[in-house]
Amino acid sequence: MSQAQPFLLRGVFWMLVTGLCFVAVTALVKYLDNAVPAAEAAFLRYVLGLVFFLPMGRTLLATEMSARHWRLFGARGVVHSVGVILWFYAMTRIPMAEVTAMNYLSPVYVTLGAALFLGEKLAMRRILAVCAALLGAVIILRPGFREVNPGHLAMLATAVLFACSYLLAKIVADEVSATLVVLMLSVTVTLGLAPFAFAVWVTPDLWVLAVCFGVACFATGGHFAMTLAFRAAPLTLTQPVTFLQLIWAVSLGAVMFGEPVDPVVVLGGGVILGSVVFLTLREAQLKRRAVTPGVHAPKG
């Protein structure tokens, strides 16, 4: 095994962890069942998530950042704030499997955006794998054969906004620590959500606060793992792994919420899973052939 390959596999591993965390977030928000308005639930998730950074807050705040970093963090906070509100809204309108499936548009946009704006290579095998995964999502959604409600429209917009957020995260993750990236997301999104939350505020009970804190735990862990994945491997390798979230979302939806397992969803998930397995194995094989360790190669 080449010395570079473990870093690529590490990126895939952290993206798997990211997917598990985000599916847990989806399940908890679904369990919340619109007990408070979407904007307020999103705000509580981010406010409660700030508790994880209290022990290291002083050190992180003392970290010097350039004006460019502040602009990137600010831009990410704006687009992610709106995306989070729309995502929480969609969770109250459509099943978990559909939310997860429509989230797959984000990795497609991210992969294409990485090639267009970040200079990453988009080889034919990656294009075919992404197209196959997107085809699987289309099979699940069956456009033209079902009613498109506001929840679906909200998820379409969410996919674009989250893709922009992830691309901005990739840029700053190459320049600052993963912890700072996650902290700045939490701070900027909390500030961005506050006006929307207070406009529709409903006093939450302890149960709502507990569920929102669980959402904060898994969401913060997911964003941290995602940032580590970005640092370990190219987006075009790690992003397709997020398609595995569909399998977990369908399973949780059936077990926890009694959502029927749609055979078409299973079929689309199989197409997606096949593309992910192909891409991951193919990338690992090519790295074994092409990479020759040098004096500056990573150790361990």
Q: Is residue 60 part of a domain?
A: yes
Q: Is 96 exposed, middle or buried (0-12, 13-18, 19+ CB in 10 A)?
A: buried
| pTM value surpassing 0.85 | no
Phi, psi (5° rounding) for residue 292?
A: -115, 115
Percent of the chain with pLDDT over 70: 82
Report pLDDT for 219. Answer: 85
Higher pLDDT, 112 or 145: 112
CA distance 75 to 97: 30
* Amino acid type, 143: P
Total number of domains constituting the chain: 1
Task: Calculate mean pLDDT across residues 15-39.
Answer: 87
Q: 218: pLDDT confidence band, cut at 50, 70 and 90? A: very high
| Whether residue 80 has pLDDT greater than 90 | yes
| Whether residue 187 has pLDDT greater than 50 | yes
Task: Calculate mean pLDDT across residues 162-168.
Answer: 89
Q: Is residue 296 part of a domain?
A: no
Q: Is 274 exposed, middle or buried (0-12, 13-18, 19+ CB in 10 A)?
A: middle
Q: Is residue 298 part of a domain?
A: no
User: 18: how many CB neighbours lie within 10 A of its CB?
Assistant: 24
Q: Is residue 104 part of a domain?
A: yes
Q: What is the overall mean pLDDT for the chain? A: 79
Q: Is residue 132 part of a domain?
A: yes
Report pLDDT for 298. Answer: 31
| Whether residue 299 has pLDDT greater than 50 | no
Instruction: Determine the structural domain holding residue 93 and report its residue range.
Output: 5-290
Higher pLDDT, 24 or 292: 24
Q: Is residue 295 part of a domain?
A: no
Q: Is residue 206 part of a domain?
A: yes
CB-based contact 83:162 (threshold 8 Å): yes
Task: Calculate mean pLDDT across residues 36-53.
Answer: 88
Helices (H) and strands (E) in the chain, counts: 13, 0
Q: 193: pLDDT confidence band, cut at 50, 70 and 90? A: very high
CA distance 81 to 154: 13
Instruction: Write the pLDDT tens digit of every residue in 258-275.
Output: 888 778 777 877 777 677
Q: Is residue 299 part of a domain?
A: no
